[in-house]
Amino acid sequence: MKNNNMLKLLMEAYQRVVVATGLLLPAGGIAFLMLTTDPSRRFALHGFHEIAITIAVLMSAFIALVACESYRRDKSAFVRFVALAYLGFAVVYTPHGVLTRMSDHNMMLFVVFGPVSRLIMSAYLFAGLFHLSKPQRDGSNGNASWWPHIVFFIAVASVLYVLLSMNIGARPIHIKEIESIALVISCLALLRMWWLPYRSPLMWFHILAQFLFAQASLAFILSAPWNALWWFAHAISATGFVTLGYAVTRIYMGTQSLATVYDTITLHNILDKIVEHSPVGILVLDEKLNVVRRNHMMENMLDHGSGNTDLAGILFNHLGIDGSALSEALRDSPVATRRFEMNRADGKHFYEARITKLNESQARGFICILIDMSESRNAEEVIRKLNESLEREVIERTAANKELESFCYTVSHDLRSPLRAMEGFSRLIEEDHASGLNEEGKRYLSNVRDNSRRMGRLIDDLLAFSRLGRKPLQTSDVNMESLVKEVLNELMTDGAAARFDVKLGDLPRGHGDMAPLKQVWTNLLSNAMKFSAKNSQPAIEVSGHSNDTENIYCVKDNGAGFDMKYYDKLFGVFQRLHGQNEFEGTGVGLAIVQRVVTRHGGRVWAESKEGEGATFYFSLPKSLQ
């Protein structure tokens, strides 16, 4: 194991040495040329220089074009500065190639465009680093904000050309100062990029290119036009452009965006916040089960003030597994799930651990997700107890229903026979012995017969009410208008039809069991007729309407009405708001209405003023589930 660790350290050291050597190779070349070549010896290859400058300009323009297209997609402020940096370089560097053949009689006009273009590129790239991971906020649509910078680049190139054509300014010392400023800015940009917390692959290429540009600026400072070091500086700069151009092309072809890889800082910051503020515990382990990352929730769930910081040990101790057992559990399944209980200072907690294995080339280990199931476990326990309670209630209700059925059977058979006997013998006495009875006796017999019949109706209504909850609903579409007309035809005798003013409005079609719904209409309409019969001009109005979820029906009369303070008794069984001597009835009709409508998933309510009539409403859902 120690030998493996030593080999790994040696390999990492070797990689660093190779990278450092590659990065410093241009600096070594600069030193070599300064020591071995004659700085006064010049190689004025005008044609080759024009080709080299053309390639550099085209390469920088290509990078600017790709960055510009990426900016149009994602509006990243940093990507916009990248596009402007290389666009500015291309615009200002172009005269350096165009004026190549003027170098013999105006060297400053030929040379100055090089350091100025590199200064502009370095300055824009450095400024862009301060906008990394930020969206563009200038309100532009992707086109308008480019023109001021393009005009600035053209103006710089034009002013330099005019001044140097007139031999004004730009002595050699000034050119060296401009190049030195570009070098300093490049170094600052390198430091800025190096201290970023995260660097994407494209950012690494950007660092490499910037490092090459900085060494190119150094070579230009130490060289003279046309000498060997001057040509080597061009080669270093060209290498930077080729490197960055290749990276930009590969990245853009793969993602259609440079911001998605340049701005990985945003992604990593978001992921860090997600991990840290996640409602579940997260523990990342390496292959040796050493903790690489953990969030606050994991610490709180496993440690909880105990002072034990070995979270992996606590977790695997409760899971009852070790590293080999964990790998074995994940051999055939991508996720291993285990549940365990843990006693903490604040009580017993139930946890579910989900562990998955990382097999990435640069990341191997395990991710453990710990979920506190205590609330759901407690909820399950509550639900279990509720189910047990409901089962007991169902058993009790079933027993009660059986007792009710037995009672109804007794009522329908045992009580009906005495009632029929009472009514029959009373009728025989009244028919056969009427001559022997005085008026008082006849009245008594009449009361006995009336109450026997009333008791029979009461038993019938009670049986009808008790049967409502036992028979399943046979639902179908119901034409309410036809059903109401049928009920009115049955209730209205010839005399009643002439006396009552009945208005039947449009009624929406309903959905339910037709037989019980017919009973609802019968009870409501018969009540309306009964309580408005004493009015000199009795009127009944039937109407309905629909909303998004239900159909609402209404029966309105101009009868006796009732006092709303007794509303809570209105739909109760055997509850009557009027005396028997005023209006006959058993007090079961509205209870039946409420039972039927409630079984259909609807509701019943009423409005009234005593002496001004009553309005009864009931609703039915548009469809029964």
Backbone angles phi, psi at 169, to 5 degrees: 75, -170
Half-sphere exposure of 450 (CA within 13 A, CB side): 10
Q: Which residues touch 335 (CB under 8 Å, ≥6 apart)?
A: 354, 355, 356
- In sequence order, which residues have a C-beta less than 8 Å from that of residue 84 and are 6 or more positions away? 64, 124, 128, 146, 149
Over 60: is that where the pLDDT of 362 sits? Answer: no
Average pLDDT over residues 188-196: 82
Note the pLDDT of residue 1.
45
pLDDT (0 to 100) of residue 497? 66
Which of 3-17, 100-114, 480-494, 495-509 has the least mean pLDDT? 3-17
**CATH number of 278-372: 3.30.450.20, 3.60.10.10, 3.50.50.60, 3.40.190.150?**
3.30.450.20
Helix spans in 138-171 (H): 147-165
pLDDT of residue 408: 64
169-182 pLDDT, tens digit each: 445 547 888 889 98
Are 508 and 543 within 8 A, CB to CB? Answer: no
SS3 sequence of 26-54? HHHHHHHHHHHCCCCCCCCCHHHHHHHHH
**Cα–chain center distance at 560:** 57
* 123-168: pLDDT as tens digits: 998 888 887 766 555 444 444 478 899 999 999 999 888 887 776 5
Opening angle at CA 229, ends 228 and 230, nearest 5: 90
Q: Is the pLDDT reported for residue 625 higher than 50? A: no
CATH no. for 475-621: 3.30.565.10
- Domain 278-372 matches domain 475-621 at the CATH topology level: no
Torsion, Cα of 514, 516, 519, 521 (10° steps)? -60
Q: Which of 86-90, 95-99, 124-128, 377-381 has the highest mean pLDDT?
A: 86-90
Give the number of residues written for the chain: 625
In angstroms, rounded to a whole number, what is the distance separating the alpha carbons of residues 591 and 601?
Answer: 15
CA dihedral sign of residues 493, 497, 498, 500 = positive
What residue spans define the domains of the chain?
Answer: 1-37, 45-267, 278-372, 378-467, 475-621
- Rounded distance between C-alpha atoms, residue 508 and residue 410, angstroms: 42
Q: What angle do CA 133, 138, 140 make, to 5 degrees?
A: 110
> What tokens appear for 358 in the block?
């990382």
Top pLDDT among 460 and 357 is at: 357
The segment with the largest mean pLDDT, out of 307-321, 479-493, 568-582, is 479-493
Q: Which range, of 88-102, 395-409, 509-523, averages the lowest pLDDT? A: 395-409
Cα(316)–Cα(326) distance, integer angstroms: 9
**Most confident among 133-147, 156-170, 286-300, 352-366 (mean pLDDT):** 286-300
For residue 306, the model assigns a pLDDT of 53
Dihedral sign for Cα atoms in the order 602, 608, 611, 612: negative
**pLDDT tens digits along 569-615:** 777 655 555 545 555 656 677 888 888 888 888 999 988 888 888 89
Q: Average pLDDT, whole number, for the chain?
A: 79
Copy the structure tokens of residue 353.
Answer: 């651990």
Note the CATH number of domain 378-467.
1.10.287
Mean per-residue pLDDT, 89-107? 85
What's the whole-number mean pLDDT along residues 8-27?
Answer: 79
pLDDT of residue 289 exceeding 60, the answer is yes
Q: What is the pLDDT of residue 76?
A: 79
370 CA to centre of own chain: 23
